[in-house]
A and B are shown apart, each in its own frame.
Chain A
Amino acid sequence: MEEETHRFHHPAIVCRCMDITQDEMVQTFFAMVKFLGSYDADTYRRLSGAVTGFCQGRGCLQHLQRILAGKLREVGVQIDPDKLLPRRRPPLQPVPMGLLYDPEAVEL
């Protein structure tokens, strides 16, 4: 069992793209409530950074939602899960910038 105590413990990653741990997600929640008085999912997304990476939340949205809903339940706030869906913006996939650049485009 000696080996056990010396073992290095890895963090539990919620959002792989932005490298955000479970602990950070929880801290961000408390910071948001304390300093902004907000329970808003979009604010939570912006503050934590989760769901804003390359894959646009395909992997971590479920976790963000679970953590937020769970914490809100603890403080007695009910939230409609439909409101937890973040806004999606193009481009949906990483693209080379040159791909969308059009030298002939005229500025309006």
Chain B
Amino acid sequence: MSQEIDKRIYEHPILKFERRRPVYILFEDKRIKAYENETVAAALYAAGVIQFSYSAKYHRPRGPFCMIGKCSQCLMRVNGVPHVRTCITPVEDGMTVEFEHGHDAELPTPKQPIHVEKKNIEYDVVIIGSGPAGLSAAIQAARAGAKVAVLDQSPVLGGQLIKQTHKFFGTKESFAGTRGVDIAKMLVDEVKDYDENIDIYPSTQAIGYFRREKVLVAFQTKSLGKYNLLNLKGKSYVIATGAMERSLVFPGNDLPGVMGAGAAQTLMNVFGIRPAEEPLIIGAGNVGVIIAYQAAQAGIKVKAVIDILPKTAAYLVHAAKIRRMGIPILMRHTVQEAYGNGKVEGATVYEVDDKFRKVPGSEKNIEIDGIWLAVGLTPSVEVLDLMGAQIKFVPELGGYVPLRTPFLETTVSNVFVAGDASCIEEASTAMMEGKIAGASAVLNIGFKNDKVEKERKNAVEWLDMFRSSPHYARIKQGLQKVLVQG
């Protein structure tokens, strides 16, 4: 037998990876070892497989980009079912996984019969997203006595918090000094305390909304081929769908190995898998710099962090930390192209002048096996758009975002927004927004609860205080553009 590749991390200064029962999946006739709590995409990456499909038109090799179920680059044919998002599909023993060839899989191929169970359920509050915003909303709503549903397309609750191993900044109210992973645990535990009120739907994707009937359509994957089709009717809704990492356009930007920095973080910190050995990180803001640090903790040698701006936007402590580790931060640098045969093998970077023009002769080739893009996030507002909420383009907040009242109600009555979906900010603000939206979602439909009302007031005050720092002037400016009176 040939030597098996295993990219799993077995020693980590902060995290202990609990891998459940080992199982085997079949990838293009190759047996691959996986663990029950891994997703198909993670298991493939662990085995060194970074190409998942061929693209539709040019048949270019492709691999995952976002790792949180938002892009389309991890779609594969699993147990005969085409277009399965492998990054959020847990492995099952004996699963067969095949390359997907662009759109050819659109031909119906009923290799496997599917079982669908239909459910119509009514709730007081339906929440989409189980990140810090969604969970905080659920806790407030349940506290007031409401019947709540929380949907998440991921099999694991906690949103982006589950991959953040660094200690958070902020104040006591926002869990400063606590690691994101631990905040996620605390929130999930608190939600579980209300299990009489809160129904949790993991692996559940929202796919449609009937405006007149106010019914949300979602489907839950119980196991491949077995689904629940859910028609959920909420008296109110909280949409906390988070954000998606941005891509950059440069030649070779689709080579396997080019992915979002958050995607790399998911592989490293959630699954304990090294996505690359010597990556290049593009973007030296907080995300890029923090991920460079976490890569080092995972035993990965980041070749460089580059950024086109003259000065890093990251907190200086973070930047200083990675400089001390010997990871070069190249400011005023950007990427010209990525090259490689079937996967990324190198990148050409160059320096820019004050007007962002290329400094002639400054091109450098860097040998790398991954490019991680930390170039910002875009709010995920598809569901809100479908629900009819008015959306506006506000660059300060990250892109298209819904109009909202001070209590985060959108222009559709009893539909609220919270967290990154409302404005790209941080986990601490996402939690506060979640509290406000969750409280309003129940107070608006007739629930009365002094404690919840008080929590909402405190959260509003905290956000005002937090955003009054000069650091957040831009966000405050953006918020002015989307604020409507309720």
Residue pair B378, A90 in contact (C-beta under 8 Å): no
Q: Mark interface residues in B70-86 (1 if CB within 8 Å of A CB, else 0).
A: 11110100000101010
Q: Collect the chain A residues with CB atoms within 8 Å of residue B249's CB.
A: 12-14, 22, 63
Task: Flag whether B320 is at the interface (Cβ < 8 A).
Answer: no
**A11, A53, A62: which contacts B72 (Cβ < 8 A)?**
A53
**A18, A59, A81: which contacts B247 (Cβ < 8 A)?**
A59
Chain B, interface residues (CB within 8 Å), range: 35 or more
**B55, B110, B207, B244: which contacts A90 (Cβ < 8 A)?**
B207
Assembly CA distance A25 to B337 (angstroms):
18
Identify which of residues 149-206 in chain B touch chain A, using a CB-to-CB cut-off of 8 Å.
153, 205-206
Task: Flag whether A9 is at the interface (Cβ < 8 A).
Answer: yes
Q: Mark interface residues in A93-108 (1 if CB within 8 Å of B CB, else 0).
A: 1111111101000000
Q: Collect the chain B residues with CB atoms within 8 Å of residue A97's CB.
A: 108
Identify which of residues 229-281 in chain B touch chain A, using a CB-to-CB cut-off of 8 Å.
229, 244, 246-247, 249-255
Beta-carbon nearest neighbor of B384 in chain A = A88
Identify which of residues 397-420 in chain B touch chain A, using a CB-to-CB cut-off of 8 Å.
399-400
Q: What are 12 pairs between A and B in contact, CB < 8 Å? A: A9-B337, A9-B339, A16-B72, A19-B60, A55-B70, A58-B244, A59-B72, A82-B391, A82-B393, A93-B206, A94-B85, A99-B227
Chain A, interface residues (CB within 8 Å), range: 35 or more
Task: Flag whether A72 is at the interface (Cβ < 8 A).
Answer: no
Q: Collect the chain A residues with CB atoms within 8 Å of residue B386's CB.
A: 88-90, 92
CB of B480 to closest CB in A, whole Å: 16
Task: Flag whether A76 is at the interface (Cβ < 8 A).
Answer: no
Assembly CA distance A55 to B115 (angstroms):
25
* Chain B residues proximal to chain A, CB less than 8 Å: 55-58, 60, 62, 65, 70-73, 75, 81, 83, 85, 102, 108, 110, 114, 116, 118, 153, 205-209, 217, 219, 227, 229, 244, 246-247, 249-255, 337-339, 378, 380, 382-383, 385-386, 391-393, 399-400
Give the total number of A-B pairs whose CB atoms are below 8 A apart.
Answer: 129
Task: Flag whether A68 is at the interface (Cβ < 8 A).
Answer: no
Q: Collect the chain A residues with CB atoms within 8 Å of residue B65's CB.
A: 16, 59
Q: Collect the chain B residues with CB atoms within 8 Å of residue A91's CB.
A: 207-208, 217
Q: Collect the chain A residues with CB atoms within 8 Å of residue B116's CB.
A: 98-99
CB of A75 to closest CB in B, whole Å: 21
Residue pair A92, B383 in contact (C-beta under 8 Å): yes
Residue pair A9, B251 in contact (C-beta under 8 Å): yes
Q: Collect the chain A residues with CB atoms within 8 Å of residue B205's CB.
A: 92-93, 95
CB of A27 to closest CB in B, whole Å: 14
Residue pair A16, B55 in contact (C-beta under 8 Å): yes
Residue pair A19, B207 in contact (C-beta under 8 Å): no
Beta-carbon nearest neighbor of B81 in chain A = A96
Residue pair B378, A13 in contact (C-beta under 8 Å): no
Residue pair B57, A85 in contact (C-beta under 8 Å): no
Residue pair A81, B393 in contact (C-beta under 8 Å): yes
Beta-carbon nearest neighbor of B207 in chain A = A91
Q: Tell which of B65, B83, B339, B382 has the most Cβ of chain A within 10 Å.
A: B382
Q: Collect the chain B residues with CB atoms within 8 Å of residue A94's CB.
A: 72, 75, 83, 85
Residue pair A62, B246 in contact (C-beta under 8 Å): yes
CB of A42 to closest CB in B, whole Å: 14
Assembly CA distance A11 to B58 (angstroms):
10
Q: Collect the chain A residues with CB atoms within 8 Å of residue B251's CB.
A: 9-12
Residue pair A13, B227 in contact (C-beta under 8 Å): no
CB of B17 to closest CB in A, whole Å: 29
Specify the main secondary structure of chain A where it touches its partner: loop
Beta-carbon nearest neighbor of B54 in chain A = A19
CB of A67 to closest CB in B, whole Å: 9
Assembly CA distance A55 to B383 (angstroms):
13
CB of A49 to closest CB in B, whole Å: 9
Beta-carbon nearest neighbor of A102 in chain B = B118
Beta-carbon nearest neighbor of A4 in chain B = B365
Assembly CA distance A82 to B405 (angstroms):
19
Known: A63-B249, A88-B386. 19 other contacts (CB 8 A): A10-B254, A11-B58, A16-B254, A17-B56, A18-B57, A20-B57, A58-B244, A58-B378, A59-B65, A59-B244, A61-B378, A85-B393, A90-B217, A92-B386, A93-B153, A93-B205, A93-B207, A96-B227, A98-B114
Residue pair A58, B57 in contact (C-beta under 8 Å): no
Q: Collect the chain B residues with CB atoms within 8 Å of residue A88's CB.
A: 382, 385-386
Identify which of residues 61-81 in chain A touch chain B, using a CB-to-CB cut-off of 8 Å.
61-63, 81
Task: Flag whether A35 is at the interface (Cβ < 8 A).
Answer: no
Assembly CA distance A62 to B383 (angstroms):
18
Q: Collect the chain B residues with CB atoms within 8 Å of residue A90's CB.
A: 207-209, 217, 386
Q: Collect the chain B residues with CB atoms within 8 Å of residue A62's CB.
A: 246, 378, 399
CB of B268 to closest CB in A, whole Å: 22
Residue pair B208, A16 in contact (C-beta under 8 Å): no
Q: Tell which of A63, A91, A92 has the most Cβ of chain B within 10 Å.
A: A92
Residue pair A54, B208 in contact (C-beta under 8 Å): no
Residue pair A54, B229 in contact (C-beta under 8 Å): no
Q: Collect the chain A residues with CB atoms within 8 Å of residue B250's CB.
A: 12
Assembly CA distance A9 to B346 (angstroms):
12
